[in-house]
Amino acid sequence: MGNSSHPVRFRTNNNKTIVIPLTPDGPAINLDEYQIIDKPAGLPYSTEQLLWVDPKARPQRLYAWGGTEDYGGPISPTVHELRTFTRGDKEGENFTGTWTVESRPPRDDSTSDAILFKHYSTWTTCNDVGIMLGGVVVTPDFRYFSAGLVTYNMTTGKWSNDTRQAFPEVIKDENNKNMTLSNSYAGGAAVCLPTMGTGKGGLVFFLAGTQTSADPRSRSLVYMPMMTVHFYDTLTRTFHKQSTTGPELPSLRQDACVVATQASSDGMQSSYEIFMFGGEASGYPVSSDVWILTVPGFRWFKATEADIYGNVRTEHACAVIGQGRRHMISVGGRNWDENVEALGWSDGIGVYDMTNLSWISPYKPNGTAYEKPQVVKEWYAEGNLDRVVFDTLETAKIFGLESQFRGEQTQLPIAAIVGGVLAVVLLSVICAALFVRRRQRSTQGKQNHSELDKAPLEASDKLLDSTPIHELPPGIKAHELLVANRGAGELQDREIAIEMHHDSRPQELPGNDVIRHQPSFGCTLPP
């Protein structure tokens, strides 16, 4: 975990669970208040693992799976045991809990095929289903990007491995050649919108990250574009994509963190706002700005300008904290500049007010509940949701906005307009040419009338002579139809929302405490 003034530039193994108490009347969060829960001997150490929170279990549980045993050293096989943390009773001011390990590796419930063990995957919990997409498979000989979506139903205990194409895209590689992506995805961030989707079963959004060919021989990495967002409907088990808008788009990145929240005063039909912070590109952290993607508006807003470089973070963890779900906590990560302190941060921990769009200190847990930021409120108040055009009818139906899919309705009018313009232009040119030729014939007839009887017979019809007739003056290009540039920002070249990320992403359980298993997760637990 990086200190704000002395960021960590390397990693050391830490096989402990660290708890950050968030008491209702507590002052600013302080690193000195961390509590440590030791793991039993023999429990495998892992980094870049996934974490799923079981929102229904009592006592509360979370699951850890995948990850590697070492970082930056020799290749080590991915950890394949499913580890379970069960929260214990509080002993005085101390939190307790126990870790256990499943004895058998997981298998697909319908096919009995083994589930690939991965690390650096993108994961989250959506209601009672754990979601994991992509990642890296490690063998004793080499590592490679993997395809497929893995789900784990924490109520039934059933696993599923879906190898369908998640992101069916064709992109250009470094040689400007078409490369078909084979469902590979790594370094991304995912977040659940638990009350949206078919039957309000939940949607999982995937942001940032990279893709490559699933071919282990390929070394091409391509950043996910921001002009399109991909999401997964957990009830129908289908992927969707939708174009985004905005005057400006976030820069391409991986290793960012995302959280989602919803204004309770707006009711169950309210929009969700997804907040994205940090990340890196080409080995360097991106700016410290914070971005908002509102859904179903699919519109990007730049929430916070990048004016405090010390707040830059990558490989960090984020979660929504507090009963009002107004604040985002960012824990750990790297900022790459040991000489710059992050203002308002304490020991690598920052708290962001998602309504006022500012980093705050101290954090007051009993503040007011989340409300949409003013800029988002105004966007919806101006009726902009009615102007959203969905890419497919299926996507529009998910949000109950079928009338705003105009793909089939606009194709015929556009063709008719283009055809009409061409017909009018062609007819005008023909009429003009005939008029000019008739005038020429009339003038010549008057001038030469007295000589017609004397002159030899000639071809007087100028339309038959050898001079080419230009429909428009030579050298001038006629555009059949001009199309204005599209608006900038559309993509370059549960009752509680649960947040999760690829690497060290905290997740939440209902309540007020964040529990963090170093170095890869955290979640909120009630006192």
pLDDT band at 449 (very low <50, low <70, confident <90, very high): very low
Question: Which pLDDT score, from 0 to 100, does residue 157 have?
Answer: 92
Indicate the class that CATH gives domain 16-407+494-525.
mainly beta
Question: Which pLDDT score, from 0 to 100, does residue 28 have?
Answer: 55
Which of 339, 491, 260 lies closest to 7 in space, CA to CA? Answer: 339
pLDDT band at 41 (very low <50, low <70, confident <90, very high): confident
Higher pLDDT, 448 or 352: 352
- Whether 474 has a pLDDT exceeding 90, the answer reads no
Question: Which pLDDT score, from 0 to 100, does residue 21 have?
Answer: 76
Question: Which pLDDT score, from 0 to 100, does residue 333 have?
Answer: 82
Higher pLDDT, 270 or 205: 205
Q: Which two tokens stand for residue 84?
A: 């379970």
The amino acid that residue 369 corresponds to is A
Whether the CB-CB separation of 118 and 143 falls below 8 Å is answered with no
Cα separation, 217 vs 78, whole angstroms:
20
Say what the pTM is. Answer: 0.75
Question: Which pLDDT score, from 0 to 100, does residue 170 have?
Answer: 65
- Whether 371 has a pLDDT exceeding 90, the answer reads yes
Question: Which pLDDT score, from 0 to 100, does residue 411 have?
Answer: 39
Percentage of the chain exceeding pLDDT 90: 34
Question: Which pLDDT score, from 0 to 100, does residue 369 have?
Answer: 93
Whether the CB-CB separation of 501 and 190 falls below 8 Å is answered with yes
- Within 8 A by CB and 6+ apart from 362, the residues are 27, 28, 29
Which of 354, 349, 345, 301 lies closest to 324 in space, CA to CA? Answer: 354
- Whether 317 has a pLDDT exceeding 60, the answer reads yes
**How many C-beta neighbours within 10 Å does residue 340 have?**
16
- Whether 524 has a pLDDT exceeding 60, the answer reads no
Cα separation, 55 vs 154, whole angstroms:
9
Higher pLDDT, 355 or 511: 355
Helix (H) or strand (E) holding 521: strand 521-525
pLDDT band at 376 (very low <50, low <70, confident <90, very high): very high
Domains of the chain, residue spans: 16-407+494-525
- Whether 19 has a pLDDT exceeding 50, the answer reads yes
pLDDT band at 247 (very low <50, low <70, confident <90, very high): very high
| Residue 236, Cβ density class (10 Å: 0-12 exposed, 13-18 middle, ≥19 buried) | middle
Higher pLDDT, 1 or 238: 238
Mean pLDDT of the chain: 74
Cα separation, 72 vs 176, whole angstroms:
31
Higher pLDDT, 453 or 372: 372
Q: What are phi and psi of 93, to 5 degrees?
A: -95, 5
Whether the CB-CB separation of 118 and 148 falls below 8 Å is answered with no
Whether the CB-CB separation of 287 and 233 falls below 8 Å is answered with no
- Whether 106 has a pLDDT exceeding 60, the answer reads yes
Question: Which pLDDT score, from 0 to 100, does residue 184 have?
Answer: 78
Name residue, tokens 């949701």: 385
Higher pLDDT, 116 or 492: 116
281 in helix, strand or coil? Answer: strand
Task: Give the mean pLDDT of 151-180.
Answer: 75
Cα separation, 343 vs 305, whole angstroms:
14
pLDDT band at 310 (very low <50, low <70, confident <90, very high): low
**How many C-beta neighbours within 10 Å does residue 328 have?**
25
Question: Which pLDDT score, from 0 to 100, does residue 125 have?
Answer: 96
Name the least confident of 10-19, 175-184, 513-522. 513-522
Order of strands, sheet of 203-207, starting from the edge strand that comes earlier in the sequence? 238-243, 228-233, 203-207, 189-193, 499-501
Cα separation, 169 vs 155, whole angstroms:
34
Question: Which pLDDT score, from 0 to 100, does residue 466 have?
Answer: 37
pLDDT band at 54 (very low <50, low <70, confident <90, very high): very high
Name the least confident of 50-59, 150-159, 261-270, 379-388. 261-270
Q: State pLDDT tens for residues 380-435.
A: 999 999 999 999 999 999 999 998 887 654 433 444 444 544 554 455 656 555 55
Q: Which two tokens stand for residue 323?
A: 């009963």
What does the chain come to in residues? 527
pLDDT band at 40 (very low <50, low <70, confident <90, very high): confident
Cα separation, 383 vs 177, whole angstroms:
42
pLDDT band at 90 (very low <50, low <70, confident <90, very high): confident
